[in-house]
């Protein structure tokens, strides 16, 4: 089989703002002939593509209708076989819950060259924007990125015991609708209900919000906010250092009869 003439770049657009893109990501978008982009990619980033660039929105936002992964894979392949410089543009970093491994394996199996361009992930953007560290001497020795898949009201992935370590900063992606199940699981594994926590909406964007709460009240805090944008839940002692955040209003104490 002869080598394909096109190539595909899996590019991280970062958390939203164009000035948080890497120089390599910027150059990739500016040189794109076909751009397949996720729903969370900001308009100011899309505007960097050439006027003649073919733009295709693939969706890929939790809870919303989106193009199936198999369709995306075959579309990238078809465009690359036409000899186009294809950019698959993803919010955040393509290697952090971005299915870069699946897409790369599919394309390379069909003879298409693939390069990956990293991007700023939501956890890093939130930490920078709200002035708290993800690791902190004496309080947070490690960071764990996770998602929370829920079935019958409970998270179903293994590995939650390790997340209960009080020196681990836990970042839960795509967990807005799984906040209660995730918090309950961490509490059941032994994480303290008083552990500081943040619910960060639209991390890295100009309209970002961070709500400070505790693990024990995290689910109620998320439910009370009615978030519309992407939400990252960040749990750990280091989040107590965050600045410019809103503080969840505690429930009024119940009076004894």
Can you tell me whether residue 34 is helix, strand or coil? Answer: strand
Encode burial over 186-217: b for 16+ CB neighbours within 10 A, e otherwise: bbeeebeeebbbbbbbbbbbeebbbbbbbbbb
Residue 58 main-chain phi, psi, to 5 deg: -105, 0
Report residue 168 as tokens. 């681990």
Angle among Cα 24, 17, 73 to the nearest 5 degrees reads 60
Nearest to 76 by CA among 98, 50, 54, 46: 54
> Is residue 47 classed as helix, strand or coil in its secondary structure?
coil
Residues 6 or more apart in contact with residue 73 via CB below 8 angstroms: 102, 103, 106, 107
| Residues involved in catalysis | 38, 60
End-to-end, the C-alpha distance of the chain in Å comes to 81
Residue 142, strand partner residues: 168
The pair of structure tokens assigned to 19 is 């000035």
């Amino acid at each position: 089989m002869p080598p394909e003439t096109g190539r595909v770049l899996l590019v991280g657009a970062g958390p939203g703002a164009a000035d948080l893109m890497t120089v390599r990501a910027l150059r990739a978008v500016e040189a794109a002939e076909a751009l397949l982009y996720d729903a969370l990619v900001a308009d100011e980033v899309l505007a960097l593509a050439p006027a003649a660039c073919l733009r295709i929105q693939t969706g890929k936002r939790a809870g919303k209708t989106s193009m199936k992964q198999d369709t995306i894979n075959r579309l990238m392949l078809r465009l690359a076989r036409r000899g186009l410089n294809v950019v698959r543009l993803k919010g955040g970093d393509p290697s952090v819950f971005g299915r870069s491994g699946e897409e790369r394996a599919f394309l390379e199996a069909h003879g298409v060259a693939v390069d990956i361009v990293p991007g700023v992930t939501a956890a890093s953007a939130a930490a920078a924007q709200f002035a708290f560290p993800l690791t902190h001497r004496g309080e947070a020795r490690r960071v764990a990125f996770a998602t929370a898949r829920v079935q019958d009201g409970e998270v179903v992935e293994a590995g939650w015991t390790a997340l209960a370590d009080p020196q681990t900063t836990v970042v839960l992606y795509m967990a807005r609708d799984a906040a209660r199940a995730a918090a309950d699981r961490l509490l059941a594994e032994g994480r303290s209900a008083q552990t500081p926590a943040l619910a960060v909406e639209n991390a890295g964007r100009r309209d970002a919000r961070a709500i400070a709460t505790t693990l024990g009240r995290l689910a109620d805090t998320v439910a009370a906010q009615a978030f519309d944008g992407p939400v990252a839940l960040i749990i750990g002692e280091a989040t107590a250092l965050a600045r410019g955040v809103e503080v969840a209003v505690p429930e009024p104490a119940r009076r004894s009869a």
